[in-house]
Structure 1
Amino acid sequence: MANREALRELQTRLASRLQAARDEATSVSSWLAAESAGSSYLLPLGQSGEIFPWVSVQTVPYTQSWFLGVANLRGGLVGVVDLAGLLGSVVPRTEQALADASLLAFNTALEVNAALLVDRLAGLRGTDAFVASEPPAKDSPPYFGTTYIDSSGKRWQELNLQILSRHPAFLSISV
Structure 2
Amino acid sequence: MNQPQTEPVTAHAERGYRKPDATARRQRMRDFQSQLSERMQQARISTREQTSQLGLQIGPEHCLLSLREAGEIVAVGTIAGVPLTQPWFLGLANVRGNLVSVVDLAQLRGHGPTIIDKQARIIAFGPSLGFNGAVLVSRVLGLRDVAAMTLQPGPVEGRMANRYRDTDGTIWRQLDVSALIADPQFLQVGE
Quick check: which has more Rg, 1 or 2? 2
1:129 is aligned with what amino acid? A
Report the Cα distance in structure 2 between the residues aligned to 1:52 and 1:21, rounded to whole angstroms. 27
2:190 is aligned with what amino acid? S
Residue 132 and residue 26 in structure 1: after superposition, are their counterparts in 2 closer, same or farther (change >3 A)?
closer
- Count of residues in correspondence between the two structures: 150
1:59 CA drift (Å): 0.4
SS in 2 for 1:128: helix
1:119 CA drift (Å): 0.7
Superposition CA RMSD, Å: 2.2
Whether contact under 8 Å (2:62, 2:173) holds in the other structure is: yes
2:128 is aligned with what amino acid? A
1:74 aligns with 96
Q: Does 1:174 align with 2:178?
A: no
1:54 CA drift (Å): 0.8
Q: How does 1:17-166 map to 2 (within 5 A)?
A: 24-27=45-48, 29-91=51-113, 93=115, 97-137=116-156, 140-141=157-158, 143-166=159-182
1:23 CA drift (Å): 9.4
Report the Cα distance in structure 1 between the residues aligned to 2:165 and 2:101, rounded to whole angstroms. 31
SS in 1 for 2:118: helix
- TM-score, with normalisation over the residues of structure 1? 0.77
Residue 23 and residue 116 in structure 1: after superposition, are their counterparts in 2 closer, same or farther (change >3 A)?
farther
Report the Cα distance in structure 2 between the residues aligned to 1:119 and 1:100, rounded to whole angstroms. 6
Aligned identity (percent) is: 35
1:134 CA drift (Å): 2.4
What is the CA deviation profile of residues 26-50 of structure 1, one whole-angstrom value per residue up to 9, with x for unaligned ones? 3254311100211110111111111
Report the Cα distance in structure 2 between the residues aligned to 1:80 and 1:150, rounded to whole angstroms. 29
Residue 73 and residue 79 in structure 1: after superposition, are their counterparts in 2 closer, same or farther (change >3 A)?
same
Whether contact under 8 Å (1:132, 1:150) holds in the other structure is: no
Gaps of 5+ in 1: 1-19
Residue 84 and residue 92 in structure 1: after superposition, are their counterparts in 2 closer, same or farther (change >3 A)?
closer
1:90 CA drift (Å): 1.4
The higher-RCO structure (CA 8 Å, 6+ apart) is 1
1:131 CA drift (Å): 3.3
SS in 2 for 1:163: helix
Whether contact under 8 Å (2:54, 2:144) holds in the other structure is: yes
1:129 CA drift (Å): 3.1
Report the Cα distance in structure 2 between the residues aligned to 1:172 and 1:42, rounded to whole angstroms. 24
1:98 CA drift (Å): 3.1
Residue 40 and residue 68 in structure 1: after superposition, are their counterparts in 2 closer, same or farther (change >3 A)?
same
What is the CA deviation profile of residues 16-73 of structure 1, one whole-angstrom value per residue up to 9, with x for unaligned ones? xxxx989932325431110021111011111111111111100000111111110011
